[in-house]
Structure 1
C-alpha cells in the first residue's frame, strides 16, 4: 500500500474498512485522535473547521463535536454535529467507539446512520498503518453514508491528518 493512499473495501455488506499508512510513529498518530488541540487541525473535510470539540477520552466517555463549513459555496456556514461514545481504548493501539449524528445539545439523531467503529494503530517501524472498521446495522445504512459522500470526506480528512502530522515533526 502506497503511503498517503486511502484503501477502502466493504466486508460483508455492512462493514466499511478504511486503511492508510501515515508517515509518523504510532504514539503520535494515536495522540491525534485523543486531544482536542490536535483534532481541531484535521478533523473534517477540506474547508471545514471544528469550533466545538469536547472530549472525555476514556471507556464510557464521550466526544461531542461540531464541524462547520468555512469555505464559500453551497455548504458555507452549515454545521454537522456528532457524538461518539467510547467503548474501549488500548493506548496507543486501538480505539473502539460508537459514532452518532447529534444536535448541539448532544442528543443523538436516530434518523441518521450510527456506526460501531474500531480504529487500529499498527506500528510499522516508524510509520503507522491506520485501519478503521465501521459497522452499520444494515447494508442500507452503510449505503446511506456512502451516498452522503463519506469516502470523499474521509479522504480529505486523512489528507489533513497527514499534513498536520508533518507540521508537527
Structure 2
C-alpha cells in the first residue's frame, strides 16, 4: 500500500465524525501521546499493549489489542502524515490493509470536530469491514471522551 494518502470515493471509505467538547490541542494530545492513546484506543472492552510508538512521519506504531473475550490482535502501522494539531494519517502494514486519516477542526475554544476516515484501496475491501467497524468506531470515540475528561493540557 502506498504512503501517499489514498484518493477514495464514499464507497471505499468508512467515516466517523464527532464533535467533542474539548479544546483542539487536548484532543490532538489524546491521539498523539501514547500514555493517553493506550487508554482509549479500540472498541469497548479492548485494551492495548504498545510495543513501539515513534510519532513522526515514517515512524512506526506497533501494538497488540487484547479482546475482551479472548484473542490478541497484532497491529503494525506507519505514520504517513502529521500536521499538528490538525491531522494524523497512518497506513496499516498488518491485515486488514487500509489507511487512517484523522482531522481535528477547532470549532470553538472548547469544541473540536474530529473526522476519522478509514480509507480502502477497493470498494470490496471496505464493504467487507463496514458491517463490523461502524459501531466499533463509535465505541472507540466513547472511550476517547472518557479519557479526555481525565486529561489536562
Give 5+ residue unaligned stretches, structure 2: 1-7
Deviations for 1:123-151, whole angstroms, at most 9, x for unmatched residues? 0112110012221011110012124x111
- Structure 2 counterpart of 1:164: 147
Give the total of aligned pairs: 144
Mapping for residues 12-27 of structure 1, pairs under 5 Å: 12-27=10-25
**Over aligned residue pairs, what C-alpha RMSD do you find?**
1.7
Give 5+ residue unaligned stretches, structure 1: 1-9, 102-111
Equivalent of 1:78, from 55, 67, 71? 71
- Structure 1 counterpart of 2:91: 98
Mapping for residues 16-165 of structure 1, pairs under 5 Å: 16-69=14-67, 71=68, 76-101=69-94, 112-125=95-108, 126-147=110-131, 149-165=132-148
Runs of 4+ in structure 1 off by over 3 angstroms are: none
- Greater helix share, 1 or 2? 2
Tell me which of the two structures has the higher relative contact order, counting C-alpha pairs closer than 8 angstroms and 6 or more residues apart.
2
CA contact (8 A) 1:82 1:99 kept: yes
